[in-house]
Amino acid sequence: MRVPRDLSVVGFDVMPVTVRADPPLTTVRQPLSEMAVSAAELGLALGRGEGVPQLVLEIATQLVVRQSTARPQN
């Protein structure tokens, strides 16, 4: 099988190797800084004995399209 002609491949977490792969790998980028800030704020609030401000936190990811994916063929 050949990527992306026969099979599209998507990875998770943008790492330097994803750009150097052959073909370069499409990836999902996580906002690690935003995730870390949210986790730290939650940990500090819990440490102070405060209630959890929310049960669910959604943080948007970003699709970084490279050459390892292609549109489906008919």
Show Cβ contacts of residue 47 under 8 Å, excluding neighbours closer than 6 positions.
Answer: none
> Which residue from 24, 10, 29 is spatially nearest to 67, judged by alpha carbons?
24
- Using DSSP, state whether 16 is helix, strand or coil: helix
Chain centroid to Cα 48, Å, comes to 31
pTM (predicted TM-score): 0.71
pLDDT tens for each residue of the chain, 74 residues long:
899 999 999 999 888 888 888 999 999 999 999 999 999 998 898 899 998 877 788 999 999 999 999 988 87
Integer Cα distance of 33 and 62 in angstroms: 14
Tokens of 22: 């052959």
**14 HSE (CA, 13 A, CB side):** 13
